[in-house]
Amino acid sequence: MTSPDPQPPLPGAAMTVCGPIDAADLGQTLMHEHLYADFGALAFDDQRVLGDELLTTSDLAEARWDPSAFVSNRRFTDIALVAEELGPLVAAGGRTVVDCTPRPFRNPAALAEISQRAGVHVVMGAGYYIQRHHPDGLADRSAESIADEMIADYADGADGSGIRPGIIGEIGTSATVSDTERRVLMASAWAQKETGLTLSIHLQPWAKQGHSVLDLLLAEGADPTRILLNHVSMDFDDETYQLSLLDRGPTLGFDLFGYDHSMHSHGKYPPSDHDLAMAVVRLGKMGFTDRVILSHDIAVLTRLRKFGGWGFAHVHEHIVPLLLHDGLTERDVEIMLTDNPQRLLTVRSDVRATVPQQA
């Protein structure tokens, strides 16, 4: 890894937290993870708070049932631990991780340190998450102001760090998209046109809002082939919905592998990894491996190996063998883990970029 580079990427490059690289060097990539974020102060619906102390072995079962109930579980800020946890991913062939943590939770300097310690490329996101986690004042801002901020992140680096995002997102949408979320979506579409970055969209996992979100983004001129719709994992058994989304051009994120929390506080229960894998196999056999990515969306301690979770290598070590056993090929896997991320993370050069040009 290198030091942050002050120049924007050249055509065919991807932007990492340590500067631009040839997109062909990204290698196998997890497109939706979190490596550093302090969610400890967040409020959740019907929140139970069972403690603020460090998790112990006796807490793990309860924390797996309701991961938000332990404040310390949501403080995902141990740089050394995360760098260590990325070791098995590197050993399994992973080379790049996209950190989708939005404002105000992201930490560019921490991501650069994790990248250098772990020896993996890290791509940082930009933008804002769902309404209830928006910072004060965002509801009073215009879409133009928000777009300008995203573009400035890319042109100048985030928050004075000199570290640039390589993707816009994850942009949050709730079960009912709020007015502020709509403005952020509009701003994201405009910023995409200016920067050439892909949009990564958080869909509320059980709401089936994919089409309404696409309607808004496409009306503002977003490129549908440069949109990643995350969390369609929860719609694993709704092939009609998946195909209707694919028909409009985006890539679908099966990004909740290893997400075996019971989610009691939401009253919703995730499908099994086997169910998700079989949904990916079905789409693959229909010829859609070029429109699917695989990831975990790790964001709490109990998803890490140290705390009994599957860790960052779960897709490589356990899900890929399932996919191969049930009919996909090594080439199918390479398309989902390498080719699709490379396509999405390559910064387009045919845009009205406002970033300064490299001399």
Low pLDDT (below 70) residues in the chain: 1-11, 40-54, 263-267, 350-359
Q: What is the pLDDT of residue 268?
A: 73
SS3 338: helix
Neighbouring C-alpha atoms within 13 Å toward the C-beta of 166 = 37
User: What structural domains does the chain harbor?
Assistant: 15-344 (3.20.20.140)
Q: With 0-12 CB in 10 A as exposed, 13-18 as middle and 19+ as buried, what is 319?
A: buried
Q: What is the pTM of this model?
A: 0.92
34 is in an annotated binding site: yes
SS3 221: coil
> By the 8 A CB rule, do 358 and 8 touch?
yes
Antiparallel, parallel or unpaired: β 75-76 and 37-38: antiparallel
> By the 8 A CB rule, do 261 and 66 touch?
yes
170 is in an annotated binding site: yes
E strands within 101-183? Answer: 121-124, 168-172
85 is in an annotated binding site: no
Q: What is the pLDDT of residue 55?
A: 78
Select from 38, 42, 44, 51 the least CA-distant residue to 265.
44
231 is in an annotated binding site: yes
Please tell me the distance from the alpha carbon of residue 243 to that of residue 223, in angstroms, as a whole number. Answer: 18
32 is in an annotated binding site: yes
Count other Cβ atoms within 10 Å, centred on residue 73. 27
45 is in an annotated binding site: no
